[in-house]
Amino acid sequence: MTTAPHGLATVELTKSFGGVRAVDRASVSFHHGKINALIGPNGSGKTTFFNCVTGMIKPDSGTVTYRERDITGRPPHRIARAGIGRSFQLCRVFPRMTVLDNVLVGVRRNRLRDLIAGARQPDEVEKARELLVRVGIDHLENAEAGNLSYGQQKLLELAGVLMGDPETIMLDEPAGGVNPALIGRIGTLIRELNAEGRTFLVVEHNMDMVMSLSDHVVVFDRGRPIAEGPPSVVRADPRVLEAYLGI
């Protein structure tokens, strides 16, 4: 297991559904300050791993640590306060709310009912607008989120994550269902944000994106890591070829 004294790590993390172990005693760490990728065949446990780390589901056993603090099984809002933000495989936006209000929902003290009632803090509105400029959809500020393209919704979700100012950002398939131009935009944003000091952990099936973007790649198969290292090393690993191609 690669050491990462101030980053995100798991030891023997396990989660079963019925008789199936979705995450199977996974011990892995991710490089703090870098762009990490978590890849693997469909059904290899990547999203379940994300959900265990971010408090969406509780692991059956094992530990999750972040910056040398045990965060195992904490609720999502406490994980977020610890400095970890995340997106989801399927975009989670409020389709009838404006793009701006979707970003403001990312502020913990701004409850949804307050936004519906029109209560907004000027400093938070300013920050939300700056983030919409950052991700390139500020011209859609007053549009209903449900009218955005799927790629634009991905950018909106990222803006919402950034509203919480996380130190580590976990993205679940940011390129999934997105056109090539917006994939390039998402990749550029990840690089820029990483250069500013944010750590990334990205689950992605787009191998071109993974190999061109990542500093460190971890490969899952059947719920546990089978290989890790720089992209050039991982792509040539026989265990990875077997997991993906059966050869």
Question: For position 1, what pLDDT does the model report?
Answer: 39
Residue with token string 């040539």: 236
Give tens-digit pLDDT for 7-18: 899 999 999 998
List the Cα angle 163/102/180 in 5-degree steps.
85
Question: For position 93, what pLDDT does the model report?
Answer: 84
Question: For position 181, what pLDDT does the model report?
Answer: 86
CATH topology of domain 8-245: Rossmann fold (3.40.50)
Question: For position 112, what pLDDT does the model report?
Answer: 53
Question: For position 92, what pLDDT does the model report?
Answer: 77
Cα 72 from chain centroid (whole Å):
17
Q: How far apart are CA 99 and CA 240, in angstroms?
A: 40
Question: For position 246, what pLDDT does the model report?
Answer: 54
Give tens-digit pLDDT for 43-75: 899 999 999 999 999 999 999 999 989 999 999
Low-confidence ranges of the chain (pLDDT < 50): 1-5, 108-110, 247
Q: Which residues of 44-57 are buried (b: 16+ CB within 10 A; e: fewer)?
A: bbbbbbbbbbbbeb
Strand 35-39 and strand 216-221: the pairing is parallel
List the Cα angle 21/14/27 in 5-degree steps.
120
Q: How far apart are CA 117 and CA 238, in angstroms?
A: 57
Give the residues across from 13 on adjacent strands: 26
Give 60's DSSP letter.
S
Question: For position 245, what pLDDT does the model report?
Answer: 55
Contact indicator for 34, 199 with CB cutoff of 8 Å: yes
The single-letter code of the amino acid at 12 is E
Q: How far apart are CA 223 and CA 105, in angstroms?
A: 33
End-to-end CA distance of the chain: 25
Of 208, 211, 209, the closest CA to residue 234 belongs to 211
Residue with token string 């300013």: 126
